[in-house]
Amino acid sequence: MEVSKDIIKHLRINERIIAKEVRLVGEEGEQLGIVPLYQAREIAREHNIDLVEVAAAAVPPVCRLLDYGKYRYEQARREREARRNQKICLLREIRLRPKIGDHDFEAKTRSVKKLLNGGDKVKVTVMFRGREVTHPEIGWRLLQRMSESLTEVASVERQPVLDGKRMITILSPTVTQKTKVKES
C-alpha cells in the first residue's frame, strides 16, 4: 500500500543532510552534543541505522539516530489511528415557514431527530417572506416548539436569533445519544 505524501513529511536522511555540523540525538533520545556531520554519519554507520534530520530550521540542525523505515511506518500508523478516531460532525439545515401545518411540522421534527441520531448538528431556520418578519414571535414559538419536542435527543446550542428575514437556532445531539450511536 502506497502511503500518501501528505501523511508523512519527508525528512533528509544520511547523505542528503547538507549542514556542516549537527546536534545529534541518540536512539534512546539522549543528547550526544554538537558534532561535525561526517562524525554523525560514521556513528550512524557503526550502529547500522539512519541519520535523520528532524529539525532543519534549528541552528545547528537536529539529527536523530533511528531506523527510518520503522519511523515512517510508526508515523503512518499514528496518522491512520488519529483519522479513525475523528468524528466528522456536519451542520445540517432544516427550513421551516411561519405558517407551517401541524403534520408538516411533525414530519420536519422527525427528519431533525433522524439527523441528530446520526450525530450531526442541525440548524433549524424559519424563513420569513414579506410582512411575516413583523411577527418574529411566531418564528420564535415555532423554534421553541421544535426544541421542546426534541429535548430527549438534542440540546440547544444556540438560542433563536433573528438574522435578517430568517430566525435561526442550532441543535446539537446530546451526549447520551452519541454513545448510543457508537454502541450500535
State mean pLDDT over 52-62.
85
Q: What is the pLDDT of residue 179?
A: 45
- Other CB atoms within 10 A of residue 7 CB: 13
Q: Are residues 179 and 95 in the same domain?
A: yes
Q: Does residue 18 carry a pLDDT above 90?
A: no
Instruction: Check: CB of residue 88 under 8 Å from CB of residue 119.
Output: no
Q: Three-class SS of residue 13?
A: strand
- Which CATH number characterizes residue 44's domain? 3.10.20.80
User: 60 preceded by cis ω (within 30°)?
Assistant: yes
Q: Are residues 62 and 99 in the same domain?
A: no
State which amino acid sits at residue 128: F
Q: Are residues 62 and 110 in the same domain?
A: no
Q: What angle do CA 52, 62, 37 make, to 5 degrees?
A: 70
Final residue of a structural domain among 64, 84, 104: 84
Q: Are residues 74 and 124 in the same domain?
A: no
In a domain, 101, yes or no: yes
Alpha-carbon distance of 100 to 139, in angstroms, equals 10
Instruction: Check: CB of residue 63 under 8 Å from CB of residue 53.
Output: yes
Q: Are residues 99 and 79 in the same domain?
A: no
- Which CATH number characterizes residue 172's domain? 3.30.110.10
* pLDDT classification of 80: cutoffs 50, 70, 90: confident
Q: How many domains does the chain have?
A: 2
The range of the structural domain enclosing residue 106 comes to 91-183
Reported as a single tens digit per residue, the pLDDT across 98-128 is 999 999 999 999 999 999 998 889 999 999 9
Q: Are residues 177 and 112 in the same domain?
A: yes
Q: Are residues 100 and 170 in the same domain?
A: yes
Mean pLDDT, all residues of the chain: 85
Q: Where are the beta strands (DSSP E) in 56-182?
A: 62-66, 91-96, 121-127, 154-163, 166-173
Q: Are residues 72 and 113 in the same domain?
A: no
Bridge partners (DSSP) of residue 95 are 125
Q: Are residues 126 and 174 in the same domain?
A: yes
The grid coordinates of residue 122 equal 442541525
The grid coordinates of residue 43 equal 556513528
Find how far residue 120's CA is from the centre of its chain. Answer: 14
